[in-house]
Amino acid sequence: MKRFAILLLCSSAFGQLQDEPQFDFSVVNKLREREQKVMEQIVHSHEKQYNKFEQAALKVQVADILSSPVYQGHIQQGSYLINLATNEQELLSEDIYVKVHSLSDAAGFHYLQNEKGIATHKALATDIANIAQVTKMYEEPLYYRPVTKSENISLTDKELRLFTEFNLHLGLTRPLFTRDLTNDQSEHVGRAIRYEAQTYGKFNLPYSVGASLMFENANGSLGGQGDSYSTRVLSFGPLIKFAPFALFEQPIVSTVGFRSSIFAQLIESRAQETLNYNLAQTSLFLGAQREF
C-alpha cells in the first residue's frame, strides 16, 4: 500500500506540471494593451495546433517580437502576407510601405504594423526591403582633390629583383656519343651529379628571364675489367621560367633553356693507357619542378 501511495503522489505532481507550465512572462507583462490583444489573437489562432506548453512559449516569442525596434520597409507587388489573426495568405496587388519589427520569429517572418501601429500581418524577410539601407545609396558622393606628388623617375632600375636558386641533380647517364667515342658497346650506365645555379628576374611578364650555370660530373664503367670513363662539363646559357600551372592539383613550374659548354672534357681510363678528349657541348633543356 505504501508503494501505491508513492506512485499516486508522483503521478499527481507530474500532472500538475503538465497543466501549469512555468515561463517568465515579464516581457509579456510589459506590452501595451493593443499589443496584448495582438498576442492573444495570434495565440488563439494556434490553439488547436499547440498544447499549453507550446502556447506559453509562443506568447513569450510574440512578446519579444512586438517589443523589438521598428524600421521602415517596402514590399513589392506580388508578395504574400500572412494575416496574424486568421493565419491566411493575402496577395499584394500593389507596392506598400510598412513599419517592420526588426526581430523575426522562428520561421523567419517579420511582423508588420498598420497605420495605427498595430501588428496585423507578417512577411518573409526576403520580401522586405529596408528603406534606410536603400536610401544610403542615393547619398551624394564626397568630392575631394587628391594631393599631387612629384616623383623623380630614374632612368636606371636600382631595385631590380633578382632571385638565385641552387639545384642539385642526381641521376644516371649513358650518352650515345660517349659509347662511340670510347668504342664501348656494353650496357653499363654512368652515375651523374650536376650542380646548377639559376638566376632570374621578376618582370611584368607571364614568365621570368634569367641564366643558368651548371657543372656536371659523370662516371661510368667501360666494357673491359677495370676500365672506366669520366666527364666534366661546365656550361652556361639563358633560361625562361614560366608561371606555375596546376597538374593533378599541384603547382608545377616549367623551365626551358639553352646551354653551351665553357669547357667539356672526357677522360677514358684503360689498363694500357689513358686518353683525354676536349669536347664542345650544346644542349637544349626542358624542366618541370614542384614548388613547396
- With 0.85 as the threshold, say if the pTM is over it: no
Which residue's entry shows cell 523589438? 68
Q: How many Cα atoms occupy the beta-carbon half-sphere of 224 within 13 Å? A: 12
What is the distance, to the nearest Å, from the Cα of residue 258 to the centroid of all Cα atoms in its chain?
39
Q: Outline where the chain has alpha helix (H).
A: 2-19, 26-29, 33-45, 52-66, 131-135, 176-182
User: Could you tell me which residue, 170 or 44, shows the higher pLDDT?
Assistant: 170
Provide the terminal-to-terminal Cα distance of the chain, rounded to the nearest Å.
Answer: 81
Rounded to 5 degrees, φ, ψ at 64 are -60, -40
pLDDT-wise least confident of 60-69, 75-84, 131-140: 131-140
How many Å apart are CA 277 and CA 98, to the nearest integer? 96
Give the tens place of pLDDT for each residue, 191-248: 899 999 988 876 667 788 889 999 999 988 887 677 888 899 999 999 988 888 888 8
